[in-house]
Structures are given as structure tokens and as C-alpha cells.
Chain A
Amino acid sequence: MRVALFDYGAGNLHSLGKALEAAGADVVVSSDWDEALALDALVLPGVGAFGHAAAALPTDRTPLRAALRGGMPCLGICLGMQLFFEDSDEADGSGIGLLPGRVTALDAPVVPHMGWNDVATEVDPLFEGLDGLVAYYANSYVCEPEDDGCVIAHSTYAGRTFAAGVRAANSWGVQFHPEKSSADGRRIIGSFVRAATALAADRGRGETRREAAALPWEAP
């Protein structure tokens, strides 16, 4: 299973790359969308600022959005999850628009929300075996989906409960950093790689879960 670890050109991809490899993925660090979308799965890392990352998205968001809606497995971490949405208070520039909603500044006396926080997870393969999850965060912004139906985990900070995890088709977003959340975080990355591997195998057999996709991850 070949996963594109997308590189916006800022920050640390080492731990994430190693965690993906340890889980059995072949990691291709890429800043080329044609290359990335041709692989089996996509990981949007959580380093950098929204404006900078938005500028690294393809000018025409349609093929990327269609690939994800069509079932390409994707893991968006922190900023990567925020990119699933339409826009952000942090900067001009739009996200992928996979999910309706926006990214807003976290209203709290102490920001960034930095450190280990409890995550209340719902039943999802990504969080299997992780009751009582405590994960590492470093965020100043949170996602506000228009429809809460996509939310698969919550955290609370300074009295505010926000989306810790979202899902759309086979795209998972987490506001925390699994690659910095020690053993439990690596388990989440392992679950993603397992799910993506199964989906890639289905694709190899000409099957698709979710909506049928024609060419690699292209929406019908």
C-alpha cells in the first residue's frame, strides 16, 4: 500500500513517515498532486499554517475533492484535518471543501491548546481499542462542521467542546497529533494503514466500498 505523505514545505514529517512505515505502508513524500492522487492513500500532515498549506493545494480543488469523496483513503492531521473544510479564520485561502464548515479561532484564555487532552471517541475503526484516549494537541484553531454527523470524536478545552475527529467517506481527520501521541497514536496510524490497505486491495479486485469509483479514486 503506497501512501502519499503530502509535503507543504514546512515542518517535521519524520515521525509521521516513520509511524506510517512501521505500520506497513510504503511512504512517498510528495508535493506533486498528480503523483499523490495516483497512489493508494493520502496523508495530510499537521505542520505549518493554514494560509501556507492552502496555497500548496491544487488551484483547482475539484479533482482532489472528487478523489476523497470517491473513497480514496485519507488521513488529515491537525492542519490537515482543517484543510478538509472550506475556509479558516487563520488566513485567506480556501481548503479542500470536502466537508461543509469552517475553521475558527479557539476561544480560550490560554492558546495554543498545547499538550495532552482526553479524547471521547465514537465507534470507528480508527479508534479501535482506544477507550480513554489521551492525545497530544498543538492547535489554536478548531473545525466547525456545518453538520455534526461527520464528527467521530470530541475533546473539551477551557469549557469548549470541539471536533477531535471527523470522517467523510474514507477520509479521517484528527485535530490531535497521533504521530506525537506515543503508543496510542501509533495505534491510530496503524488502524488507518490497515483500513487503507484493505481498501486498496478491494480496488485491486475491482471492487469499491462506498460509492463506486471509476479510475483511481475518481468520483462517479
Chain B
Amino acid sequence: MLRPRVIVCLDVKDGRVVKGTRFRNLRDVGDPVELARRYEEEGADEIVYLDVSASKEDRGTLLDVVRRTAETLFIPLTVGGGVRSAEDIGPLLRAGADKISVNSAAVRDPGLLTVGAERFGSQCVVASIDAAAEEGGWRCYTHGGSQRTELDAVAWAKECVERGAGEILLTSIDQDGARSGYRLDLTRAVSDAVSVPVIASGGAGRPEHLRDAFTEGRASAALVAGILHDGLTTVGALKHDLTGWGVKVRPASQREAA
């Protein structure tokens, strides 16, 4: 039985984990390598690093963080934000990322998804889509939600999959940071439209929000960030509640070492 995944997202800037609202008011919350390992121990199923560094000069720093993380992390690591062209994919994977996620760069050059899938396999290409409710549909935004596009989120998700994406990371801009639940209608619309796993993102505040994303939203995975970083709950506590509701996540507690 495939288990619904609880994925922890860390925003990384200049080699540090930062926290803020929609890329603003960032403050330092720790070392990504340490935090990622701690979340693995707590029972996280995957880690996502979202690089929010502004400049290209920070690329080396990101690669270094990925490299150091891969040496101590033994669950999958996805890196987003650092991919601006096909040439950026190889170095990130070589450094230790298992998957790369692309957002703005894929909108600018959708062929990026194809090149990535052909060269490295679609399982390591995640299409990241930021969507907002608009005129009865879903509008894609890029550049951290600051630039509106002409793309409909469901149609764009389907195109991403046709072009080679092996997974969709779907963030509701409306819900992001609100902690009032994932945008389930959006999650459901995309999950029903594509044949690859969908990660629900934006809005996790309580354990039942994850449950609803897996059931009503039909998501394969749920992304969690702020409520964990703020210490409001733990991966273990989330998984405990989910299990209690009959959502068969991977058990958080590790087997005793023999």
C-alpha cells in the first residue's frame, strides 16, 4: 500500500533556513542540514528546500547546502528555486538532490521539463505551480506569486505532465501562510486532471487539513512548513492523528536499532 506522504518544506536563503510571509520579513531559523535531519528523525517522509536567494551568486551556497544535507539525510530531498535553466538541473542532482522543482523557469521555457525528464528521468522533475482562484478558475503565478500569467493552473499542470514532469507541487497562493487548510477544490481539480502524484501545499494549520488534502483533495502528499518550524506541532503528532483517522501514513516512530 502506497502511504500518503508528509513533506516538510524549508525556505533556504544564503545557506540558512528562513521564515517569513510570502518571501518577505524573512528571519533566520536555523541550519538546513540540522533541521532536515531532525525532521527525518521525527518521521518526515521527504524534505523540500525552496531556495529563496535573490541572486545567481548564491548558487554555490545552495549547492554546498545540498551536498552537506545529502551526506546526513536518508529520505528524499527536493530542491526548488535554484533552477533557472536546464544547465542548473545536473549540478543540483549531482550535489545530492533527488528531485528538482521548477516553477517560473518552466513557464518561461516548458522544454526545460522535457530536457530534465529525458536526461535524468521524470521521477526527479517536479513541476511547481502557484495558483490563485480567479474568475471561476485557477490562475498560475510565477516569481514567488508576484507575476500573473495567462496560464490556467489545471491546463498547465496537464501540459507539465505531458512534457515530462513526474510530480506536481501545487501551492494555493490564497491559502499560503493562512493556516486555515489547503485549497481542496484546487487540489482536487489538479489531482483529477493529471496522472502523476500531486503534493498539496499552502494552508496547513491543523492535522485535519492534511487528512482532508489526502481524502477530499486526493493529494498523494501534503507539504507542511510554518506550523512545524514554529513548534506548534511535530511530524510525529501529525502522523499520530492521521493514523487515528485511518489515513495510513508511514509510521513516524523508528524501529529500535538491533
* Interface presence of B257 (CB below 8 A): yes
Nearest chain A CB to B163's CB is how many angstroms away? 15
Interface size on B, residues (CB 8 A): 42
Nearest chain A CB to B90's CB is how many angstroms away? 8
Taking a contact as CB atoms closer than 8 A, the residue among A19, A47, A111, A183 that contacts B93 in the complex is A47
Q: Which residues of B contact A105 (CB under 8 A)?
A: none
Given A14-B67, A116-B45, A183-B254, do A136 and B75 touch, yes or no (CB 8 Å)? yes
Nearest chain A CB to B83's CB is how many angstroms away? 15
B119 touches A180 (CB 8 A): no
A159-191 near B? 1/0 per residue, CB < 8 Å:
000000000000000000101111111110000
A110 touches B220 (CB 8 A): yes
* Interface presence of A109 (CB below 8 A): yes
Nearest chain A CB to B40's CB is how many angstroms away? 6
Taking a contact as CB atoms closer than 8 A, the residue among B67, B76, B90, B121 that contacts A136 in the complex is B76
A113 touches B75 (CB 8 A): no
Q: Which residues of B contact A179 (CB under 8 A)?
A: 74
Interface size class of A (residues with CB under 8 A): 35 or more
Q: Which residues of A contact B154 (CB under 8 A)?
A: none
Q: Which residues of B contact A117 (CB under 8 A)?
A: 1-3
The stretch that binds A, out of B14-22, B94-102, B104-112, B225-233, is B94-102
- 6 more contacts with CB within 8 A, not counting A110-B197, A117-B3, A140-B123, are A11-B120, A12-B96, A14-B70, A112-B167, A114-B196, A185-B74
Which residues of A are in contact with B by a Cβ distance under 8 Å?
10-12, 14-15, 18-19, 47-49, 52, 79, 109-118, 129-130, 134, 136-140, 156-157, 177, 179-187
